[in-house]
């Protein structure tokens, strides 16, 4: 029998009735072809009332017409009305003499004690109800839902930290170093890498030619290319399996180690977003006489709070030696929140489909289970060719996705894995603010909320013109939006099934009403 929570009001009324009048309310399940039901507290003096469902509607049954007291049992009369089969009915009956307590008004001693006890019983009912609901996938939440889906071998996807690239650099060349007599064995290879990089210039290359010591000519016999000695096809070369020596001028190696921390700037520590590099890199010469290197970074906090816009990362708490600046040239907005209860429920309900394998549904469910995957589109015969399936996946590790595809696809079926085509969304708007509102914080909130809305869209979702308007109008301090353009127009941005929208330029001008 399913558990049903009893309300505080019912608990209080039942205790008062039993205490003052000796009346007890007892629940029974009506079963087919069963006419007698034993009452728990005996001896039974009288049945006061029986309530239940008749033809799906609440009904109070009639004594001596629908039922009668038979000893200590309720006996249903075949000719009368009976509760619907499989439903509950409640019997109110007396089993003792009234206690003589008559004052149960609010504030009385009796009422105060009863309500205090009823409150504790109600709390126990609430706990029992929570435990009961925690056992089902549609009603459990939070940790309880995690435990339910674990029976299917499924775990909740954790929040994903934002990741992207930052540029470390300096505006002047590093100090020079002179390397003399670096040895290499000539074995007829075209290229020979120099050990101390980056290399500014080669001073001399000396070796054996036809058994004699010889200094080779730069530009005719060899050239410097990408920190390598490249021997010219038509030039002279050292004797095979002999040693040649290289004198050259290099630059001091400036290394940015893995784990180097960088951050945004704010006077409020709680608003600072910190990232760290995920691998080692060496500073290299770039165009315009600058020395830069792009390094992948990952936020130290998971979830969307780690998202930052282009140019926000400018601080190095402990700058690596020789580095003068750091900056992120592009937005880093790919953080994802932890999987919600509803998303986890939906994925769990498809768990058995994954076990089936070789179907489009199982393929989609398997890919959705990869950590970091945000959206999946599966197309059968995308170009009308049998045996071809195209999957378009937003987020997640490519290697892990390919592994899941190979483990799930049917033999003989070719699965084409693609990333969605990015459609840039540019928003220009004029916003009228309430009097006395600080424009800058409101503009930042508008920018953030629009980007958050667009980033929440899945593959194939249109960018809704009206949704952006409602998003902005919901911000405190915004009075009206007299002008708004999305990619130059006043219409939704239509997104094809293989595309995904991303916010690019958001330009906001403000006025006061």
- Both tokens assigned to 273: 């977003």
What are the Cα distances from residue 271, in Å, to 265, 268, 274, 312?
8, 6, 10, 12
The vertex-441 CA angle with 437 and 445, nearest 5°, equals 115
Instruction: Show the 3-state SS of 409-430.
Output: CCCCCEEEEECCEEEEEEEEEE
Q: Alpha-carbon distance 462 to 458, whole Å?
A: 9
SS3 of residue 130 by DSSP: helix
Q: Alpha-carbon distance 218 to 323, whole Å?
A: 33
pTM: 0.58
| pLDDT recorded at residue 247 | 96
| pLDDT recorded at residue 353 | 62
**Overall residue count recorded for the chain in this entry:** 513
| pLDDT recorded at residue 407 | 83
Closest by CA position to 281, among listed 250, 258, 311:
258
Which residue, chain included where needed, has tokens 């039942």? Answer: 14
| pLDDT recorded at residue 140 | 93
- Both tokens assigned to 227: 């920190």
- List of the chain residues with pLDDT < 70: 1-2, 21-22, 96-99, 287-288, 352-358
What are the Cα distances from residue 183, in Å, to 44, 180, 193?
109, 9, 11
| pLDDT recorded at residue 53 | 93
| pLDDT recorded at residue 501 | 92
Q: pLDDT of 54-81, one tens digit each?
A: 998 989 999 999 999 998 999 999 999 9
Q: pLDDT of 124-171, one tens digit each?
A: 999 999 999 998 999 999 999 999 999 888 889 898 899 999 999 998
What are the Cα distances from residue 459, in Å, to 133, 164, 376, 481, 498?
34, 21, 7, 28, 7
Q: Are 335 and 162 in contact (CB under 8 A)?
A: yes
| pLDDT recorded at residue 493 | 92
Q: Alpha-carbon distance 463 to 496, whole Å?
A: 11
């Amino acid at each position: 029998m399913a558990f049903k929570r009893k309300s505080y009001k019912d608990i209080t009324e039942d205790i008062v009735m039993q205490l003052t009048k000796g009346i007890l309310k007892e629940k029974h399940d009506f079963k087919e072809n069963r006419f007698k039901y034993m009452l728990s507290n005996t001896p039974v003096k009288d049945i006061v009332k029986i309530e239940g469902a008749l033809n799906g509607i609440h009904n109070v049954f009639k004594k001596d017409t629908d039922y009668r007291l038979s000893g200590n049992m309720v006996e249903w009369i075949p000719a009368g009305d009976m509760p619907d089969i499989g439903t509950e009915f409640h019997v109110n009956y007396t089993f003792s003499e009234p206690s003589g307590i008559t004052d149960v008004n609010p504030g009385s001693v009796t009422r105060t004690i009863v309500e205090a006890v009823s409150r504790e019983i109600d709390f126990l009912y609430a706990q029992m109800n929570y435990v009961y609901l925690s056992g089902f996938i549609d009603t459990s939440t939070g940790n309880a839902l995690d435990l339910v889906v674990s029976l299917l071998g499924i775990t909740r996807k954790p929040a994903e930290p934002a990741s992207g690239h930052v540029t470390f650099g300096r505006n002047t060349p590093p100090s020079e170093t002179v390397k003399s007599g670096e040895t290499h064995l000539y074995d007829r290879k075209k290229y020979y890498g120099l050990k101390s990089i980056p290399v500014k210039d080669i001073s001399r290359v000396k070796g054996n030619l036809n058994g004699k010591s010889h200094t080779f000519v730069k530009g005719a016999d060899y050239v410097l290319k990408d920190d390598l000695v490249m021997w010219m096809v038509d030039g002279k070369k050292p004797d095979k399996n002999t040693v040649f020596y290289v004198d050259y001028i290099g630059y001091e190696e400036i290394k940015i180690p893995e784990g180097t921390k960088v951050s945004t700037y704010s006077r409020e520590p709680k608003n600072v977003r910190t990232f760290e590099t995920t691998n080692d890199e060496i500073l290299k010469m770039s165009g315009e006489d600058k020395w830069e290197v792009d390094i992948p970074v990952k936020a130290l906090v998971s979830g969307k709070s780690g998202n930052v816009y282009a140019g926000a990362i400018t601080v190095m708490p402990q700058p690596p030696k020789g580095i003068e600046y750091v900056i992120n040239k592009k937005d880093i907005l790919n953080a994802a929140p932890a999987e919600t209860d509803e998303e986890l429920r939906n994925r769990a309900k498809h768990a058995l489909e994954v076990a089936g394998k070789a179907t489009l549904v199982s393929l989609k469910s398997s890919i959705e289970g990869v950590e970091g995957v945000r959206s999946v589109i599966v197309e059968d015969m995308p170009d009308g060719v049998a045996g071809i399936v195209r999957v378009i996946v937003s987020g997640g590790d490519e290697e892990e996705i390919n592994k899941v595809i190979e483990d799930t696809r049917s033999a003989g079926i070719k699965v084409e894995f693609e990333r969605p085509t990015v459609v840039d969304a540019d928003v220009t708007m004029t916003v009228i603010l309430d009097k006395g509102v600080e424009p800058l914080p409101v503009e930042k909130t508008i920018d953030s909320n629009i980007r958050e809305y667009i980033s929440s869209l899945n593959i194939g979702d249109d960018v809704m013109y009206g949704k952006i308007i409602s998003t902005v109008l919901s911000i405190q301090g915004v009075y009206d939006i007299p002008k708004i353009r999305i990619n130059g127009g006043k219409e939704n941005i239509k997104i094809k099934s293989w595309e995904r929208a991303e916010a690019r330029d958001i330009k906001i001008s403000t006025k006061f009403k």
